[in-house]
Amino acid sequence: MSSAQDLRPIVIKKVKGHSKPHGNHSWKIAYADFMTAMMALFLVLWLLSSSSPKTLVGVADYFKTPLKVAMAGGDKSSLSKSVIPGGGKDPMAKDGEVMKAMTNDPADAQRRRDQLDTERLRALKGRLEQIIENNPQLRQFRPQLLLDITSEGLRIQILDTQNRPMFRTGSAAVEPYMRTILREIGPVLNEMPNKVSLSGHTDSATYMMGERAYSNWELSADRANASRQELIAGGMQAGKVLRVLGLAETMPLEQKDPLAAVNRRISIVVLNKRAQAQFEAENASAAEVTVQAQKGRMADEMQTQLEAASAPAARPASAPRGRTE
């Protein structure tokens, strides 16, 4: 029995593994990515070939602008002086450096200069407002001080009030609190090299003699000049004043009420570069006309003197010829 059992054949069953019904399709994902990239490439090439140079510059600037700058504002990476794109500020850069103009267009250069000048005037305006708030003497006069930016520059207006006039009635004598305001403002104006223009304004109340004698024209000019003297006494450089004007009641602040106290005011304008250049050019042209007129008068005087000098010498020479002796 044992021998028969030992001779029984041994059957070994091998189970074959079943393959995946659909195979490995991971290559299709890579192929799809490749086709998408190729389509994007051809789209970019088509845009480059059909766009104008100006459009291409705009597209290039768009891709040079970081997302943070595009959303929050700031300088583009193309304006950075760092050798590493996006690497932050250049450690060798110095404060106060101004980037050179990107183009040679004079209009763009003038626009940048005007913008920089306006920013400096705004900074001076903030400085004056801070001084007014920090100075107890000036803080009580804050309602009488108006600061704004105009086409000519930073305008500082000191207004009159019914209970607190800046000058004595009908005269250019400065009241003590007006003197305090002007002498506190004077040194601050030296922080910028810009010239200053002063103008005086009055209300429509006239003198008994009208404009035939001392009038609002003389009064406004005298008050503007008195304000100039107080600014210089407070520390402002004398050479900063470009002009002093008396405008009488021609430019009221309260047009509906010509007699309102606020119409009596002193206007101090820190001129921007454009307005300063315009006024200086006008003064230069006026001075040139004056010089030419003086030269003309001198030439006429010399001609008259020459004629007067030659006339006596001609008469004795003609006398002998007239005689018959």
**pLDDT tens digits, residue range 61-108?**
766 666 655 555 555 555 555 555 555 555 555 555 455 545 567 778
- Each domain of the chain, given as residue ranges in start order, spans 113-272
pLDDT over 60 at 274, yes or no: yes
Instruction: Please give the single-letter amino acid code of residue 156.
Output: I
- Amino acid 226: pLDDT: 95
pLDDT over 50 at 325, yes or no: no
Find, among 141, 121, 151, 131, the residue nearest to 266 by Cα.
Answer: 141
Q: What number is the average pLDDT over the span 262-285? A: 88
pLDDT over 80 at 154, yes or no: yes
pLDDT over 80 at 296, yes or no: no
Q: What is the pLDDT of residues 21-47, one digit of tens each?
A: 555 677 888 888 899 999 999 988 888
Find, among 200, 196, 193, 203, the residue nearest to 178 by Cα.
Answer: 200
What is the C-alpha separation between 101 and 221, in angstroms, rounded?
Answer: 43
What is the C-alpha separation between 321 and 325, in angstroms, rounded?
Answer: 10
**C-alpha pair distances (Å), 104 with each of 98, 101, 202:** 16, 7, 47
What is the C-alpha separation between 48 and 199, in angstroms, rounded?
Answer: 59
Averaged confidence pLDDT in the chain: 79
- Amino acid 39: pLDDT: 92
Q: What's the chain's Rg over C-alpha atoms?
A: 43
Tokens of 111: 């626009």
pTM: 0.56
- Non-local (6+) Cβ contacts of 215 within 8 A are 206, 207, 209, 248
Identify whether the C-beta of residue 132 lies closer than 8 Å to the C-beta of residue 145. Answer: yes
Q: How confident is the model at residue 158 (pLDDT cuts 50, 70, 90)?
A: very high
Q: How confident is the model at residue 317 (pLDDT cuts 50, 70, 90)?
A: very low
SS (H, E, C) the chain: CHHHHHCCCCCCCCCCCCCCCCCCCHHHHHHHHHHHHHHHHHHHHHHHHHCCHHHHHHHHHHHHCCHHHHHHCCCCHHHCCCCCCCCCCCCCCCCCCCCCCCCCCHHHHHHHHHHHHHHHHHHHHHHHHHHHHHCHHHHCCHHHEEEEECCCEEEEEEECCCCCCCECCCCCCECHHHHHHHHHHHHHHHHCCCCEEEEEECCCCCCCCCCCCCCHHHHHHHHHHHHHHHHHHHCCCHHHEEEEEECCCCCCCCCCCCCCHHHCEEEEEEECHHHHHHHHHHHHHHHHHHHHHHHHHHHHHHHHHHHHHHHHHHHHHHHHHHCCC
- Amino acid 290: pLDDT: 61
- For residues 246 and 110, the model is more confident at 246
Q: Which of 12-26, 154-168, 199-213 has the highest mean pLDDT?
A: 154-168
Find, among 271, 54, 235, 254, the residue nearest to 153 by Cα.
Answer: 271
Q: How confident is the model at residue 287 (pLDDT cuts 50, 70, 90)?
A: low
- For residues 247 and 301, the model is more confident at 247
What is the C-alpha separation between 205 and 259, in angstroms, rounded?
Answer: 6
- Amino acid 322: pLDDT: 44
| CATH code for the domain defined by 113-272 | 3.30.1330.60
Token pair 């207004």 is at which residue? 159
Q: How confident is the model at residue 248 (pLDDT cuts 50, 70, 90)?
A: very high
- Amino acid 147: pLDDT: 93
- Amino acid 281: pLDDT: 87
Angle at 20 (CA atoms; ends 19, 26), nearest 5 degrees: 130
Q: What number is the average pLDDT over the span 120-140? A: 88
Comparing 54-63, 137-146, 266-275, 316-325, the range with the smallest average pLDDT is 316-325
